[in-house]
């Protein structure tokens, strides 16, 4: 009796937890407190950060700067003649929509040559994909960063996420493991 009432509750809790985990995109303020500036050590800022598809880069800068995304060939020499995108609003938010390398420079060539440039590598191993393959097959898990269908089989998705993130997530994963075992016992 009690078991049958508990089962759907457990299922709902599982689904909510797995959705909360798979939807956890991060917004990174580029350069941290110093922002997107010529004085910011952007190389140190990227150290130790792992950017995932679905995350957002937020560039905040004064009116003497701008943000341009450029192709890799234009990055080293700070060639701004053909940017992929350009913004000078002072508050530019750039969603990371695909795995691979992305290249940003300040539109002021002197600033760019002075080091105001940023290269980030966007990974797609949220769902335990082995490599951030730039060419995605249709239907591959990575091609849809946050599908609600992930809740179909949360226990296969969640542990890999817990593995790559911090301790607080691991606690959730342990909890999910407990819930899954409980559901299995309850259903027998």
85 binds ligand NAG (CB under 6 A): no
- Kindly tell me which residue out of 33, 63, 81, 149 binds ligand NAG, with binding defined by CB under 6 A: 81
Helix count and strand count (H, E) for the chain: 6, 8
Residue placing its CB nearer to ligand NAG in the complex, 80 or 180: 80
Among 6, 20, 113, 131, binds ligand NAG (CB under 6 A): 131
**Least Å distance between CB 10 and ligand NAG?**
29
Q: Is 119 in the site for ligand NAG (CB under 6 A)?
A: no
- SS percent in the chain: helix, strand, coil, step 5: 40, 20, 40
Residues pairing with 102 in the sheet? 120
The interface region with ligand NAG, picked from 3-11, 30-38, 77-85, 134-142 by CB under 6 A, is 77-85
Among 6, 110, 164, 174, binds ligand NAG (CB under 6 A): 164
Strand-by-strand arrangement of the 91-95 sheet:
27-29, 56-60, 91-95
Q: Is 123 in the site for ligand NAG (CB under 6 A)?
A: yes
Instruction: Give the integer Cα–Cα distance in Å for 48 and 42.
Output: 12
Work out which of 79, 88, 119, 155 binds ligand NAG, going by CB under 6 A.
79
Return the residues of window 35-74 that contact ligand NAG according to CB under 6 A: 58, 74
- 33 touches ligand NAG by CB under 6 A: no
Strands (E), 19-116: 27-29, 51-52, 56-60, 67-70, 85-87, 91-95, 100-105
Distance, in Å, from the CA atom of 154 to the CA atom of 147, rounded to the nearest integer, reads 12
Least Å distance between CB 115 and ligand NAG? 18
Q: Which residues contact 53 (CB under 8 A, 6 or more apart)?
A: 96, 97, 98, 99, 122, 123, 124, 126, 142, 145
Question: Scanning the structure block, which residue is given the tokens 């016992």?
Answer: 185
Residue 20 as a binder of ligand NAG (CB under 6 A): the answer is no
Contacts to ligand NAG by CB under 6 A:
58, 74, 77, 79, 81-82, 91, 93, 123, 125, 131-132, 164
């Amino acid at each position: 009796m009690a078991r049958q009432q508990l089962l759907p509750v457990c299922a709902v809790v599982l689904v909510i937890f797995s959705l909360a985990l798979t939807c956890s995109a991060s917004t990174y303020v580029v350069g941290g407190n110093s922002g997107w500036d010529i004085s910011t050590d952007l190389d140190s800022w990227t150290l130790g950060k792992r950017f995932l598809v679905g995350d957002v880069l937020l560039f905040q800068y004064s009116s003497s700067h701008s943000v341009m995304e450029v192709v890799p060939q234009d990055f080293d020499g700070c060639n701004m003649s053909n940017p992929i995108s350009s913004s000078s609003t002072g508050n530019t938010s750039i969603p990371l929509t695909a795995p691979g390398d992305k290249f940003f420079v300040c539109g002021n060539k002197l600033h760019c040559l002075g080091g105001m440039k940023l290269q980030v590598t966007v990974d797609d191993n949220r769902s335990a994909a082995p490599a951030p393959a730039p060419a995605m097959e249709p239907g591959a898990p990575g091609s849809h960063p946050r599908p609600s269908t992930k809740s179909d089989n949360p226990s296969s998705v969640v542990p890999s996420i817990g593995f790559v993130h911090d301790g607080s997530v691991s606690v959730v994963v342990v909890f999910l493991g407990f819930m899954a075992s409980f559901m299995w016992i309850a259903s027998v």
